[in-house]
Chains A and B, each alone.
Chain A
């Protein structure tokens, strides 16, 4: 396909929420007025210095930002190529990048006078961040989570409940993240008058992909400033894992117009791309689900297929629409890592750097293990360490013990 290159990769979406052919507002009429309200509220908040100032206060003193940009010396030595920096999003309060977006949306919800917050969650990181900020601001919180994920991410379920949230295990469909999102949408349609839907990734109907991206862009903006301070220049490459793609978009977006920066997104290849996986770009095609047009895993009849990943946070048959666009225009390279590659990376980073990553960014580390050795020693590579692995310790422990038997 021959697609004209835009003057800027950062100007999207258009006023109807489109990134090229992707994005849009494919929702039931009941929700449409609310989505238009949200767009208006967000536009007003963005222009209000008081909103930004209040957010900055919480980002600094509650979330603990800026997160460090850490030179992973032993990983760099081990791989023998590019100089690898980790953007330490796992050190944020609640243990992942998710809190950046949730803080922004909860502050919007407060501006809009909404007292009840709902969210979907896969690995539970977005659910925990939402439960945390609802506790902080005294809001009712209901989190929808696939029954399969409730099982494999027990530590996060317990955390959400301790924070006062109600966790609803979703039994419909494949009982993972996509079904949690369906159920959250059903709740929203029903309780539209008092409820704010806090979406956890750069997907869903416009304006969600944009506002989540904007709230997460603090990752890339900080990285740019920190790299300037340490190395005096831009990084040469960026690597991040992608389920819906919010941590990746947050890191990538501020660099999209810096043409010297190579950008890599890493999808979950599960058991391998010819078997069950969750790599929508590698194995899917454009379709419409959950309010937007984007790459999806589906069959010939347009029925959505089950995704599979060892990582609950990447176990989703779609991807944010802006990623689909960045793929089609060729600005970002989308790769994929299998369950086994992610497990190996999980162990390597734990042993070499004393940092146990979540299984999600372990997929990004897995590709760093391939990319870094092929790069020169002065190549600066940044990988987004989007979450910490505490939640995965029981699951990975079981797998490793099972394997060592």
Chain B
């Protein structure tokens, strides 16, 4: 089965460049503004869109993304509304891949089977669930594959060669390499270490490898994108969003543009990179 993710990476490969992957939290700072922001991303140069599913206890996230989740929850965001957000986006864009990223509990409570049907129906292409390692594949990964959604696995610096095959076995769409041991928003890894790690993963898989955690500037994005099939930026975009809010944490006239402008400049960085050697 070919998903929008597969199609997008095939197009990029033909064009000889890496993907720019953006992350923002669904419903941050409120559901309506969030939809405007997500809609603005493809025009600004995002190739793949990751949307965070807010959770009260995001144990792998740094302060910026924790706060984004809490802003969204405070604004009444739920998993159901996150799927509505995707549906809203799909009205105008049927090509840009959408990946939902988050933690398992809200999906478990929603009901796995119902969630997969509703997510597929809304136009979701893939899932990244931080707290579901291959040891728990029965929970969501295998049912998601059956439902035609990509299950994108995180590989990390602690995932050694012995473990990589297990991590990659049921992965589809792309592999998300977490460039550091740490939480989102932490310091960046140096690009030579990333290059080595990506090469190591590519010895085990034909899937595209995208790299995230710690990429904040167009320069880092360019450096990382030259070693990988994609660069993911989250915290920097979430921070730009937050800095545009008023004192009460509400959206202002600047909010959508603040995110769009940073997206455009990061996209320039990624597009300036030479495509990674296959």
Contact = CB atoms under 8 A, between A and B. Distances in A.
B57 A189 contact: no
Given A189-B182, A287-B108, A303-B106, A30 B156 contact: yes
B20 interface: no
A16 B154 contact: no
B159 A303 contact: no
B217 interface: no
Given A29-B153, A32-B135, A302 B106 contact: yes
A33 interface: yes
A185 interface: yes
Contact of A25 (B56, B135, B167): B135
Nearest to B176: A29
Interface string A62-75: 00000000000000
A193 B57 contact: no
B152 to A, nearest CB: 12
Contacts of A302: 55, 79, 105-110
Contacts of A50: none
Q: How large, as a class, is the contact surface on chain B?
A: 35 or more
Contact of A28 (B60, B62, B66, B157): B60
Contacts of A32: 133-135, 158-159, 163
B131 interface: yes
A393 interface: no
A109 B232 CA distance: 35
B57 A288 contact: no
Interface residues of A, number: 37
A289 interface: yes
Nearest to A304: B56
B122 interface: no
A28 B110 contact: no
A28 B135 CA distance: 11
A298 B59 contact: no
Contacts of A138: none
Nearest to B81: A301
B104 A26 contact: yes
Contacts of B160: 33
Interface in A60-97: none
Contact of A29 (B80, B106, B108, B159): B159
A172 interface: yes
B175 to A, nearest CB: 11
Contacts of A26: 104, 131-133, 136
5 contacts: A24-B135, A26-B131, A26-B136, A34-B158, A301-B80
A-B pairs with the 5 shortest C-beta distances? A302-B109, A302-B106, A190-B182, A30-B156, A301-B78
Interface of B: 54-63, 66, 73, 78-80, 103-110, 130-136, 153-160, 163, 167, 178, 181-183, 186
